[in-house]
Amino acid sequence: MPAPELQKENKVFGGWVKRFKHESTACSCPMTFSVFFPPQAAGRKVPVVYYLAGLTCNDENFMQKAGAQRRAAELGLALVAPDTSPRGHNVAGEAESWDFGVGAGFYLNAKVDKWKAWQMYEYITVELPEVLRSFSSLDIDNASIMGHSMGGHGALVLGLRNPGKYKSISAFAPITHPMIEPWGQKAFSGYLGEDRETWKQYDATEVVKAFGGPERKILIDQGSKDDFLKEHLNADDFVRAAKANPCIKLSYRLQEGYDHSYYTIATFVDDHLNLHAEELFKR
């Protein structure tokens, strides 16, 4: 597999944020991703925390807005942020709305032929880790996953469905029950078709019900002033299902006065990185 091409780099907290581009087989187009290499990566392999972004975002939003590099540098964690969808296919209607198409891949493998390039589940779980193996400083087999909103949905689903790949899971304001809310119904029907049974594999509430172990820690931070809380995020169903599963150790925190923005992520991101470091550095 050809090494990804460096697009730009910025030094921060003694480490480097680097943006790369490569040809994706899964998505049949060039894809970009950003990596924060902490200072420790200059001398040894470091664990990886994947961050999945939300609707309308790309691989740079988290790196530029969350302020996560300071704590990641202290802990010795690499941060990997992929893009949120394929780009450049010029599929009819791909840019007509902000919650479907470009920037809105929902971290699933599309089944509807029109959207056949939207294979973000395969891209994140299979292809991207192999691309990252070209960096000798990244311990790709020692990883955790986190995300925000649509990316929180992705982190929960990918993390729970692939417990051998991710040692811990966290999310900010995740879409937890997409089968019953407008964003998820639009995405699932568009990408997967109308067979609702096929939707369940990408619905975090359904996935956590069926999760059989090993024991997994999950941290969720949700702002009480989030404009999307009641209509789109549906945290209650997921919390009930997770607490009923003895394999799940869930910490769900409703943060008073906080909203859906990166201000909230920046406030609590250190706690999420601390959780992941605790699991990733276990011996």
Whether the predicted pLDDT of 117 surpasses 70:
yes
Q: Is this structure's pTM higher than 0.75? A: yes
Instruction: State residue 171's pLDDT score.
Output: 98
What is the average per-residue pLDDT within 132-141?
98
Taking only the tens place, the pLDDT of each residue in 199-218 is: 999 999 999 999 999 999 99
Taking only the tens place, the pLDDT of each residue in 217-276 is: 999 999 999 999 999 998 999 999 999 999 999 999 999 999 999 999 999 999 999 999
Whether the predicted pLDDT of 32 surpasses 70:
yes
Instruction: State residue 3's pLDDT score.
Output: 87
DSSP the chain: -PPPEEEEEEEETTEEEEEEEEEETTTTEEEEEEEEE-GGGGTS-EEEEEEE--TT--TTHHHHHS-THHHHHHHT-EEEEE-SS--S---TTTTSBTTBBTTB-TTSB--SGGGTT-BHHHIIIIIHHHHHTT-TTEEEEEEEEEEETHHHHHHHHHHHH-TTT-S-EEEES----GGGSHHHHHHHHHHH-S-HHHHGGG-HHHHHHH---S-EEEEEEEETT-TTIIIII-HHHHHHHHHT-TTEEEEEEEETT--SSHHHHHHHHHHHHHHHHHHHT--
49/36 Cα distance (integer angstroms): 10
Instruction: State residue 283's pLDDT score.
Output: 62
Say if CB 80 and CB 47 are below 8 A apart.
Answer: no
CA 279 to chain centroid: 18
Cα distance between the two ends of the chain: 31
What is the average per-residue pLDDT within 125-136?
98
97/79 Cα distance (integer angstroms): 29
Instruction: State residue 2's pLDDT score.
Output: 76
Taking only the tens place, the pLDDT of each residue in 151-182 is: 999 999 999 999 999 999 999 999 999 999 99
Q: 7-11, 63-67, 232-236: which has the minimum mean pLDDT?
A: 232-236
Active-site annotation, residues: 149, 226, 260
Instruction: State residue 234's pLDDT score.
Output: 82
